[in-house]
Amino acid sequence: MKFSDGYWMMREGVHAAHPVEVLDVAEGPCSFSVQAPVERIRHRGDLLKGPVVTVECMSPMPDVIGVTITHFAGEKQRGPQFELAAEPIGDVRIDGEAAELTSGALTVRVKRGGEWGIDFLADGRRLTGTAPKATAVIDTDDGEHYVREQLDLGVDHFVYGLGERFGPLVKNGQSVDIWNADGGTASEQAYKNVPFYLTNAGYGVFVDHPGHVSFEVASEAVARTQFSVRGQKMRYFVIYGPSPREILRKYTALTGRPARLPDWSFGLWLSTSFTTDYDEATVSSFIDGMAERDLPLSVFHFDCFWMREFQWCDFEWDPRVFPDPPGMLRRLKERGLRICVWVNPYIGQRSPLFEEGRARGYLLTRPNGDVWQWDKWQPGLAVVDFTNPEARDWYAAKLEALLDMGVDCFKTDFGERIPTDVVYHDGSDPERAHNYYTYLYNQTVFELLRKKRGDAEAVVFARSATTGGQRFPVHWGGDCESTFEAMGESLRGGLSLGLSGFGYWSHDIGGFEGTPDPALFKRWIAFGMLSSHSRLHGSHSYRVPWLFDEESVDVLRDFTQLKMRLMPYLSGAARQAYGEGVPMMRAMVLQFPGDPACTHLERQYMLGDDLLVAPVFSSDGDVSYYVPDGVWTHYLTGERVHGGRWVKERHGFDSVPLLVRPGAVIPEGAVDDRPDYDHADGVTLRVYEPSDGMNVLTQIDGTSFTTVRNGATLRVSGAGAWNVLLVNAGVTAVEGGETSYHPHGVLIKAAGDELVITLEEEN
């Protein structure tokens, strides 16, 4: 929220009070608090009035420091609260000059003399901090009260994250409201709002408030990032990296790591689409068509109309269209498919569950006791109250019956249109619960899947989220148009979400609204199959490729088979997601924080550590992208690309810029028709530009391979059946294997546990 009228004045009806000095300091366990009056204390008479702002500093883990700003401490503490990992630590030092708390390499320092200020210091430098008049408690003439903070931004400091946002990746100059909304991908609204940002300056900031948080990023005050909440208190955490990757690792240690996902979830998902007509015969025709065309398919998804109209959700198959659901599911699963069905947290008035939920008190109510209802989306819609444990069990029991029938997972749609004029079972504040609702919703479904299918098999396909929602993957990008512009919006949203702690992400190949033309569909296929998760889905048209043109079939086959072969590599990237909180799809600035050319890049990304992907956003195939330093290699052609520059190329529909980082070892699997196979059996280690001193450990499903170069000797060791492909490298001798021709270099089949390869000298 903007409070000022230019730099010097406040807006009419807005009154701000700012701490000006430290009156006294109190030390607590691994913490300290200061009393900061908003006027200078010149004599005892000045001690008779306020406000006096309390600022408390504590640390929940190394390199993370929390700051709580309080005006009136008597405000009732209302839920919900984010679930955070916390074990207070830190060393406190208080003297006549300052109060300091040090946690790991991060120190917060509040000056005791002179002008008010808070400094965050690490490794001998100031990361950020507050200046006079940055911290504020604010009253308005309409009776509202806010707490505001502003942290300094340097000239070359840039802000990223704040959830899945579809505008520019760099948030400088933007105003961002953390408030979940069903606004599509073409507006400033977002389905997944996260009050966390990271910077390229060595730190991130998490505002620990589950409700509405306003961010003014280098906008209201152009040299500061401002954030504010309504109420008497606000807590935020500064997280020291220093690298963006380390910031994400520590932020997700605080708020939760993404779960590990089953291999089958990384395969191709095919949907009925939204408002299309379909029955078992239609579904079978799609699956038959995919099989006849050698198109690998892992998951089939039934969207809304698996249930009867106006009865969403009753969790019952429409008997007019699906008279034998158990038999149908059995027949589909006999073909090796997993089954997903669409659900949401709303109960239409016509649903038999409406009266059941109303009678038991499982639906959100208005303050007068009436069930909250409206006619948008479903006539007489009501909302399940997930703060009620019995309501959660009731909802989960309906889904459990579907799992027992043969369903494997759920698309958890919606969860953003949550009203604030309601009463929650547990007394949660409706404003604080608006964003948090989606956490409880997806947690309910995900925990049921864990209970029924086991930790290794649980997966949802969710649209809404907030902080902590990364624990319940996967998330997809919501309703986008079928245009190249929307394809770009979607990519920006996914990269922004990845910079907000979410490890996996997907989108509707071809766009949701409208029907893509064949050229757009084929370009989007390449992008979709080189995303962490891949789904064919639309609104009012089917998305099987032969309905576009025959070339679409070939393009889908090529890129789906490519993704299946890349599963040994992708499983390693997924391990980083659930083990470290590093997303599989990464903005270039995350992987190359020291390269200033990567600061604003938003039309390309890294897929894992070593693959650069630049989707083609044009029908004619023209694409321009940036390549960091080094000699990179086109994965599909073996062509070398010298980096440190921008590259312009033209690609056919069967191609996309997919570059391998120099010195990388890319494990390629021997199977291309499914994602869930023994990734280590028959694997080929593709070695690119191996430099002297190279030492790479490649782990595949519990099997380890090492690649070490010392001078002209390259040693590769492993176990089982495996191969090595030296891309664009000359070989003079090989011990422990047999060589054969490959278009990209020399292919060597290992005969034992070690290959010793003598490389040709470079010219």
Instruction: State the catalytic residues.
Output: 413, 416, 479
DSSP assigned state of 46: G
HSE, CB side, 13 Å, CA atoms: give it for residue 620.
5
Euclidean distance between CA atoms 565 and 670, whole angstroms:
6
348 backbone dihedrals φ, ψ, rounded to 5°:
-70, 155
Q: How many helices (H) and strands (E) does the chain have?
A: 11, 47
What is the per-residue burial (b if ≥16 Cβ within 10 Å, else e) of 378-387?
Answer: beebbbbbbb
Closest CA to 115 of 38, 191, 171, 167: 38
CB atoms within 10 A of CB 725: 19
Residue where the block lists tokens 């430099």: 691
Residue where the block lists tokens 């605080």: 254
Euclidean distance between CA atoms 416 and 375, whole angstroms:
16
The answer to whether the beta carbons of residues 595 and 330 sit under 8 Å apart is no
The answer to whether the beta carbons of residues 467 and 206 sit under 8 Å apart is yes
Euclidean distance between CA atoms 283 and 503, whole angstroms:
31
The SS3 call for residue 577 is helix
Euclidean distance between CA atoms 535 and 538, whole angstroms:
10
The SS3 call for residue 473 is coil
The answer to whether the beta carbons of residues 458 and 450 sit under 8 Å apart is yes
Tokens of 230: 């309504």
The SS3 call for residue 202 is coil
Tokens of 9: 């004045």
Is residue 326 classed exposed, middle or buried when 0-12, 13-18 and 19+ CB atoms within 10 A define those classes? exposed
Residue where the block lists tokens 């409706």: 430
The answer to whether the beta carbons of residues 657 and 621 sit under 8 Å apart is no
Give the containing element (helix H, strand E) for 326: helix 325-333
Residue where the block lists tokens 């504020």: 136
Beta strands 136-140 and 14-17 are: antiparallel
